[in-house]
Amino acid sequence: MKKGIGNMTRVEVLFLGTTASIPTPKRNHPAIYFRYVGKHEYCMLFDCGEGTQRQIFLAKENFMKLNEIFITHWHADHYAGLLGLIETMSLEKRSSPLHVFAPEATRFLNTLLSVGYGIRKFQVIAHDVPFKGKEVTKILEKEEYEIFSIPVKHGIPAVAYCFKEKDRVKIDKAKAKALGLPSQSVLYKKLKKEGRVEYKGRLVKLEDVSYIEAGKKVVYSGDTEACDNLIKLATNADLLILDCTYFEDVKERNHLNVYEAIEIASQANVKKLVLTHISRRYQDEREIERVVRELAKNFDFDVIIAKDFMRIELK
């Protein structure tokens, strides 16, 4: 990749829980702590299974930095940690709003928060995410990135999410130098803002010395069967995180097996695939690693089995 002018951005993905419906001594319920570092730092959570706040403590992360939580569907292993996390935020005197996105968010979040006698001094705002149809929906936009969703197939309302960093205009240093431009950040900022700049009698247009750097793309699906919607959302992702409940050719409704997950990643042309939501039946890590190694020989993307507290960084 070309080197240009501008700050490096990065995405950090921390797996807090990687089991399926029932936890194990090594695997907690599903949750992903997601950090984007650009002009500012943004932290968010994807799914929030039972025990998530304790996993955050063990990982030495800060749950108070979370501004958004994205729930894929309302099965307990994907949301049961929400109430405890929100109560702890309240005890720690949180004042800023917390935004929770999910299919049927208003219905279920309001019910969840009505349990018990907790007192909150901050808003918890529910955002309903579409769970029918075949359209990709933009559900959140920030200065540097967007979050999209699409319905998936799980027998109940469920969605997959996509984090997409906005494409960035970069200055090609070699082209700029060839046109006589000095290495001055102020000059380049003006060029990016106005689209052209005059320097020593020469008019230089942005398109003459720039290129587009595609933004990083991460897609996460909770529980789902194979479906076209998932491939549509995941196309050309840098990182695809998929439900992989089974490491055998099990054709069970509502979940993926390893063969289906790898096929989806192949059709979507992703760069890296992480398999998570792993059934407790697989206690021998070496055996599932052997299965994945054998299958991955036939594909040109990385395939990784998620583990609790595993971190992946994209730059």
Task: Give per-residue pLDDT as tens, 84-98.
Answer: 999 999 999 999 999
Burial of residue 92, with CB atoms counted within 10 A of its CB: 0-12 exposed, 13-18 middle, 19 or more buried = exposed
Active site includes 77?
yes
Q: Is 8 exposed, middle or buried (0-12, 13-18, 19+ CB in 10 A)?
A: exposed
- Between the alpha carbon of residue 141 and those of residues 37, 68, 138, 147, 273, the distances in Å are 15, 12, 7, 6, 25
DSSP secondary structure letter of residue 66: E
Q: Which of 1-5, 196-200, 216-220 shows the highest mean pLDDT?
A: 216-220
**pLDDT for residue 6 is more than 60:** no
Q: From the centroid of its chain, how far is CA 74? A: 18
- Domain ranges, ordered by start, for the chain: 10-167+214-314, 169-211
Instruction: Indicate if the pLDDT at residue 159 is higher than 90.
Output: yes
| pLDDT surpassing 60 at residue 61 | yes
| Residue 185's pLDDT band (cuts 50, 70, 90) | low
φ, ψ dihedrals at 66, nearest 5°: -70, 125
Architecture of the domain spanning 10-167+214-314 = 4-Layer Sandwich (3.60)
Question: Lowest-pLDDT range, 25-29, 38-42, 207-211?
Answer: 207-211
Q: Is the per-residue pLDDT at 1 higher than 90?
A: no
Mean pLDDT of the chain: 93
Contact 128, 93 (CB under 8 A): no
Residue 4 in this model has a pLDDT that exceeds 80? no
Q: Give residue 26's region: left, alpha or beta (phi > 0; psi -120 to 50).
A: alpha
- Residue 5 pLDDT class (50, 70, 90 cuts): very low
Give the residue, 179 or 132, on which the prediction is more confident: 132
| Phi, psi (deg, nearest 5) at residue 11 | -120, 135
Q: Round to whole Å and give the CA distance between 233 and 311.
A: 23
pLDDT in tens, 62-77: 999 999 999 999 999 9
CA–CA separation, 276 vs 218, rounded Å? 15
CA distance 23 to 10: 31
Q: What is the percentage of the chain residues whose pLDDT exceeds 90?
A: 80
Question: Does the structure show a pLDDT above 90 at 166?
Answer: yes
Using one digit for the tens of pLDDT, what is the confidence trace for 188-205? 888 888 888 888 888 889
**Mean pLDDT throughout 177-182?**
83
